[in-house]
Structure formats: C-alpha cells, structure tokens
Amino acid sequence: MEPSNLTLFWAGAIALSIFIYVVLDGFDLGVGVLFGTTNEDTRRVQMMNAIAPFWDGNETWLVIIGASLFAAFPVVYAVFLSAFYLPVLLMLFGLIFRGIAFEFRDRAGSMRWFWDRGFFLGSVIVAFVQGAAIGAMMRGVPVANNQYAGDAFGWLHPFPVLTGIGLVLGYALLGAGWLVLKSEGILRDWAYARIPWLIGGVFLALGLAFLVSLTVDAGAIAQSNLRDRHWGIAFPILAVAALIGVVTCARARRDELPFPLTVLFFLASYLTLGVMFWPFMVPYSITVADAAAPDVSLGFFFYGGVIVLPVIFFYSIGVYYIFRGKDGRAVRRGRHPSHS
C-alpha cells in the first residue's frame, strides 16, 4: 500500500523535527558532556553562558516529535514506547535532572558539586539512550499484531551500546564546535584541543560497532536496505569527509566552520539511516503507510500543524538570530547572562 500525501507530509514533518532536535539539543547536550570533563569553575560558567539562551527552547522539538507521533502514527508511538520504555524513562529523568541542575547550581552554595554532576550525568544519560535506541532500531524491532514482541531489555545489546557511546561522543563534538563558534580566549582554545580526540572517539566507536555488526551482533544491519541501494553509500562517505573537514578547520582555527561541518556529519548519518529504513517506520516491521492514522484524522491534524510548526520554527530562528555572534561579555565576566 502506497502512503497518502497526508501520510508523507506528517512523516516528513516528523523526520525534519527529529533532525532539528538532534542538532539543536545535541549541541547543548554535548556541552553538558564536556562540562563534566573540567573542574575549572570559570570555564564551567562560560559553558553555561554559551547555551543559556537556547537549551530549554531546543527541547520543544522533542515535544513536537512525541505529539506528532501520537497523533499521526499511533501504532509507532505505542510500539516505540513499549520497546524503549526504560530508555524513555532514563531520557526523561536525565532531561529533568539536567534542567533542574542548570537553574540550581548558581544558588546551591556548598551543594554546587551535586548539581554540577547532575548536569553532566543527565546529559550523558540522555545522549546514550538516544544513541542506544538508534542502534536497537538498526537491529530491527520485533512486532506481532502491531504490538512490540520483544522484552524490556531488547535494546541492550553490544551494537546499541556502541552506538550509544558513539552518540555521546558525537554530541560532545557538536558541543565543542558550538563552544568554538560562540566563545573566545581560553574556552575556545580548550574546545579546539578536544575536537581531534572526540573525532577519534567517534571513529573508534563507529568502527567497533561495524565490526560487532559483522560478528557477535550480525543482525544489526543485515536487514537494512543499504545493501540494495548502493547509491546510499554516498552518505557515509560524506559523513567521513565532514569529520575530516572538522579536523582540518580546527587546525586552521576557522571558528565558523567546525560546528556546521559537524552538523553536516549528523545530516549525512541521518540520511544514511533514512536509506536503511525507508519505507519502514518501525524497522523492519511496520511501514509508513501501515502505521498512519486515517486520512480524516491526518487532515484534521494538518490544519493545526501548518500553524504550529512554522511558528515554532520561526521562533527558533528568531532566538538564534537575536543571540548570534560570540558572547564576549559573558565570557569575560564569567557570569550567567540572566544575572548580569
């Protein structure tokens, strides 16, 4: 069965929202991961300053994804929650805890160490479970009668663990690129110094994941469509080229390039997943057409979507435009912008 135009619209809207979320929340999660790798308080304050105007708005896209799935693809929503119940709970816990830590650390006094660790651990947990969920999807999600047919720990295999670690490092690389883009002086130099190590870690994690997919966890990519769509290999090649470009630009101290090139790496990786999964929305069990709600329902949601989605999109653009450029004032003073 071919998907209707309304089905394709909502599938495209959700796919775009996922990518926007990965990039926007990815860099502030990455800054959170890097936050835990330094004990220098001034540097930590500067990191907070670099994401302060953006981090809470970035997570709006996660709400959009969940609401759109629930309304437009209820079968997918039900299967994913059942398959990834524990990862979703861990992700929500991490998001809540890191949000509280962000607001509390400046007023915590002697308990600042607790909230600093909470911010770091929350960021790592969120990044890891998202990456592990992607790896589990690449292995395939068992479904019977439109219901999840696996167990609660079906996502916990060597391949998903490695993809989880890879996404933690990938988000950290995105965060380092953001710090280079938004900061000056010592913090920028500190971020530059970590970029080669993070890229090496990403290559190592992906390489090990590939080896695992060929050996102990051979089901990881055996069912994908990548083997039948040879043109899709262009996207992994583009991803590798983007990472090489990040290293080159970091060595040349081109502040404006590491972040967008890392975004390009994520885009190429995301398109690779699209080639692997399409036309399945629950790999490799439920197609986009089979998962969609009736067209009558999709048409009703459409009128809300064409209003809400552009508003959120242009709001996000407006925030990034207003706070464009380097935050030199916050970097020099080492203070949270809202406290200035």
3-state secondary structure of 3: coil
Q: How confident is the model at residue 337 (pLDDT cuts 50, 70, 90)?
A: very low
Contact between 137 and 281 under an 8 Å Cβ cutoff? The reply is no
| pLDDT higher than 90, residue 168 | yes
Q: Give the long-range contacts of residues 278-282, CB within 8 A, separation 24 or more.
A: 278/225, 279/3, 281/11, 281/73, 281/76, 282/75, 282/76, 282/79, 282/80, 282/141, 282/143
| pLDDT higher than 50, residue 336 | no
Query: DSSP secondary structure string, 11-80?
Result: HHHHHHHHHHHHHHHHHHHHHHHHHTT---HHHHHHHHHHHTTTHHHHTHHHHHHHHHHHHH-HHHHHHH
| pLDDT higher than 90, residue 197 | yes
- Give the pTM: 0.89
**Other beta carbons less than 10 A from residue 134's beta carbon:** 19
Report the largest interatomic distance among the alpha carbons of the chain, rounded to a whole angstrom. Answer: 61
Contacts of residue 88, Cβ cutoff 8 Å, sequence gap at least 6 = 81, 129
- Tens digits of residue pLDDT in 289-327: 888 888 888 888 888 888 888 998 898 898 888 888 887
| pLDDT higher than 70, residue 191 | yes
- Tens digits of residue pLDDT in 119-149: 899 999 999 999 999 888 888 888 888 888 8
How far is it, in rounded angstroms, from Cα 16 to Cα 5? 16
- Tens digits of residue pLDDT in 239-248: 999 999 999 9
Contact between 3 and 296 under an 8 Å Cβ cutoff? The reply is no
What are the structure tokens assigned to 31, written together? 């800054």
| pLDDT higher than 80, residue 219 | no
| pLDDT higher than 70, residue 218 | no
pLDDT at 333: 39
Map tokens 């710090």 to a residue. Answer: 179
Instruction: Give kind and range of the element (H or E) at residue 144.
Output: strand 143-144
Contact between 78 and 147 under an 8 Å Cβ cutoff? The reply is yes
- Tell me what the mean pLDDT of segment 99-116 comes to: 81
Handedness of CA 193, 161, 26, 278 (dihedral sign): positive
Which has the higher per-residue pLDDT, 223 or 19? Answer: 19
Residue 186: closest CA among 326, 50, 42, 336: 42
Q: What average pLDDT does the chain have?
A: 85
